[in-house]
Amino acid sequence: MSSLQPIEVPVKIPGISCRVLVGSGLLGRVGQLSAEAGLRGRCAVISDDNVAKLHSAPVLESLRAAGFDPVLLTVPAGEKSKSLSMAENLLERMAEAGLDRGSFVVALGGGVVGDLAGFVAAIYQRGIPFVQIPTTIVAQVDSSVGGKTGVNLRAGKNLVGSFHQPRLVLADIDTLVTLADREYREGFAEVIKHAAIRDTGMLQTIDPSADRSSLTPLIARNIAIKAAIVAEDEKEESGTRALLNFGHTIGHAIENVGGYGELLHGEAISIGLAAALVISQQKYSLSAREADRIRAKLADFGLPLTLPAHLKTNELLVAAAKDKKFSAGQIRFVVVPRLGEAIVADDVTESDLRSAIEAIRA
């Protein structure tokens, strides 16, 4: 564990108070920092059954020491818990535990837990505050910041949800030590995506051999990118926030068709990035050299770049058409004409998507 002070990342969304800290030892400060954020009373700590065994004890102890009355609610680990039925289950358990309008939720886990717990907080008693404690790379650099919460439907990913900003985000890098290698590496798909769309210079700092305890500056740099884009377009009205979807239209389709869990989120996004690079090269003049830089960095982390043979192109296109990144049937596809500069293109066709999918089969 590092003794360095955490880095505070500014989040400047008009009318929103959200404090974001990145560093070591933050699990033991949850109670103090929640009190400083103005939270009071009873709270539900929502986690999955794997993360709860590893990290819930110091969180519960810290909350109790600060005068809070926490109840731990766990869900099965995995993407299948991101469902309306699981949200309903949690809401019933929160009501049984006596949570009211003055209560709050603590989301302790990866992206699934953060999205699910945030959604539950958004709709319980018409909305109560929540705290994000992301425990994976992908959750720390992406899903815990920005206020998107939601669950999946059979038709597609994140089709039911709400914008509900967390009051506090605590990215404790100590939790990354407990991640299995595959779960650790998959999160870097989102880091590499951030470099591709906004910060090319970050590519040279992304090192698969880096000590996990040294990642505070890299995590903070990624959160700053995400926070800046969200501050420009919190609810995806101007199109700026859509830039964060680079690689996600096809990536989410892969997750949906493959069955949630066959590929981890970051693995599916890596393949989606490979497809988006194909379209960026073919239609938007991205150079082969720049595209290969992104492919090489993904490969450095052992992330896949080719599509599993059993995932059929037509099924992927059907799933992509149901994605929330489509608007009135129009494909809104993110491309990078050059690294560090992304745009939302409105002239990508189904034929382009088909061609890109076929290109990443070999």
The residues annotated with a catalytic role in the active site are 126, 148, 190, 226, 236, 241, 245, 248, 252, 265
* Residue 302 backbone zone (phi > 0: left; psi -120 to 50: alpha; other: beta): left
Distance linking the first and last C-alpha atoms of the chain: 43
Distance CA 93, CA 79 (A): 20
Question: Burial level of 239, CB count in 10 A (0-12/13-18/19+)?
Answer: middle
Distance CA 104, CA 127 (A): 9
Residue found under tokens 């939302």: 344
Distance CA 335, CA 243 (A): 8
Nearest alpha-carbon partner for 307 in 257, 243, 343? 257
φ, ψ (nearest 5 deg) of residue 33? -70, -30
